[in-house]
């Protein structure tokens, strides 16, 4: 590909949108044509993020987009909004592609989407034209779709270490315990309205332990990728840091499968992956190494309980869990080097 991709970012001033614009502004095969929001029209994007040095279009409304001059739209919007936009223009502009960072096209069953998001889906006919894409699992399929559903940050941190082990049939798939801790940016710029617990910026807070809406997403994709129904509990926590996720998965190997074997299987599965880093056995792990990167670090650890292992997975929720993976999906979609603009 010689010409640059003409890009529009809708929802450019949110936490995820700003990371998208930052990485895209440094991407050698991208030309940003529109940066859209509903507020602060006319302002420079650098007003919101001092990292962005390149001269870019000022914030405008979606009405300013000339759709026939755009190749790809990133939609970084609240749940329920992207589906309205895609529904209006999908069939009219047949060369236009979409990467949606909300949940609108992640869930294939509209009833399950409504149950978890309390929004009636307004583009049900387009769901079959969309692909949920953790990039590492969809490099061969992604070219067949115009709508790419970018995964949630928690599900990304969980599926990357878990799916290969289920495929290889080397862990028991009943009663897994999954514990994830995320920086508060994962809740968006209005997180103070969503989380009102005492000492928000100084405490750790467990929430939605029974019915977190990402559970249906994890369930759906594990079944799709492995043909197995997994029984697990998922316990999310908000921690007093801006970005980063650390996920802990407690599991039991099949028969006498060793932690070394489990680590080796992950290393083999991801041997050609640009962003998945399998650490040495029993490595201590936090989110510090992955912040502001598209990397996922994984550590397989022994525990004090016989035949129980712990897998730790760390990502940046705004990058590998959102904007970075969206650009990784874009690169594969347009047959560019996977890590272009993300190094």
Please tell me whether residues 109 and 162 are part of one structural domain.
Answer: no
Do 140 and 22 lie in one domain? The reply is yes
Tell whether 18 and 162 lie within a shared domain.
Answer: no
Confidence at residue 203, expressed as pLDDT on a 0 to 100 scale:
79
Residue in the structure block whose two tokens are 């307004």: 122
Q: Which residues, in sequence order, are CB contacts of 206 under 8 Å at separation 6+?
A: 235, 236, 237
| Tally of domains within the chain | 2
Burial (CB < 10 A; 0-12, 13-18, 19+), residue 170, is: middle
Taking the model in full, what pTM does it have?
Answer: 0.93
Mean pLDDT of the chain: 93
Residue 339 belongs to a domain: no
The stretches in the chain having pLDDT less than 70 are 1-2, 186-198
237: its two tokens: 């926590």
Instruction: Answer yes or no: 153 catalytic.
Output: yes
Asked if residue 192 is part of any domain, the answer here is yes
CATH number of the CATH domain containing 48 = 3.40.50.720
Q: What is the pLDDT of residue 200?
A: 72
Instruction: Considering the candidates 36, 153, 216, 296, report the single residue annotated as catalytic.
Output: 153
Is residue 343 one of the residues assigned to a domain? no
Residues 253, 269 within the same domain: yes
Domain membership flag for residue 342: no
Residues 9 and 121 in one domain: yes
Looking at the domain assignment, is residue 338 inside a domain?
Answer: no
Same-domain status, 240 and 295 = yes
Residues 94 and 107 in one domain: yes
Residues 143 and 219 in one domain: no
- Cα distance between residue 24 and residue 326, in whole Å: 10
Whether residue 53 sits in one domain with residue 12: yes
pLDDT at position 184, please?
A: 85
Residues 106 and 146 in one domain: yes
221 token code pair: 């994709």
Domain of residue 312 covers 154-317
Verify that 125 and 63 share a domain, yes or no: yes
Residue 340 lies in a domain: no
CATH at residue 263: 3.30.360.10
User: Does 291 fall in a domain?
Assistant: yes
178 and 147 together in one domain: no
* Residue range 64-122, pLDDT digits in tens: 999 999 999 999 999 999 999 999 999 999 999 999 999 999 999 999 999 999 999 99
């Amino acid at each position: 590909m010689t010409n640059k991709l003409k890009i529009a970012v809708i929802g450019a001033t949110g936490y995820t949108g700003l990371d998208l614009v930052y990485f895209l502004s440094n991407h050698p095969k991208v030309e940003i044509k529109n940066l859209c929001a509903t507020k602060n029209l006319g302002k420079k994007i650098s007003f919101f993020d001092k990292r962005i040095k390149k001269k870019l279009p000022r914030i405008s409304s979606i009405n300013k987009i000339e759709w026939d001059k755009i190749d790809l739209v990133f939609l970084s919007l609240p749940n329920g909004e992207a589906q309205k936009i895609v529904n209006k223009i999908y069939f009219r502009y047949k060369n236009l592609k979409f990467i949606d960072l909300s949940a609108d096209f992640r869930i294939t069953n509209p009833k399950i989407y409504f149950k978890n998001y309390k929004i009636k889906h307004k583009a049900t006919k387009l769901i079959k034209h969309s692909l949920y894409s953790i990039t590492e699992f969809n490099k061969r399929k992604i070219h067949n779709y115009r709508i790419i559903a970018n995964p949630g940050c928690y599900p990304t941190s969980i599926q990357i270490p878990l799916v290969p082990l289920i495929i290889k049939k080397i862990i028991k798939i009943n009663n897994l315990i999954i514990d994830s801790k995320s920086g508060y940016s994962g809740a968006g710029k209005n997180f103070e309205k969503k989380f009102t617990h005492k000492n928000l910026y100084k405490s750790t807070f467990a929430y939605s332990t029974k019915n977190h809406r990402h559970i249906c997403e994890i369930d759906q994709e594990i079944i799709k990728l492995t043909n197995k129904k997994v029984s697990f509990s998922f316990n999310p926590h908000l921690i007093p840091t801006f970005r980063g996720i650390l996920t802990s998965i407690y599991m039991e190997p099949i028969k006498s499968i060793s932690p070394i074997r489990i680590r080796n299987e992950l290393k083999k599965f991801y041997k050609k992956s640009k962003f998945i880093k399998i650490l040495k056995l029993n490595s201590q792990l936090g989110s510090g190494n992955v912040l502001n990167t598209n990397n996922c670090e994984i550590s397989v650890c022994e525990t004090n309980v016989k035949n129980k292992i712990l897998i730790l997975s760390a990502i940046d929720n705004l990058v590998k869990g959102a904007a970075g993976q969206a650009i990784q999906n874009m690169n594969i979609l347009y047959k560019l080097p996977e890590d272009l603009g993300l190094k």
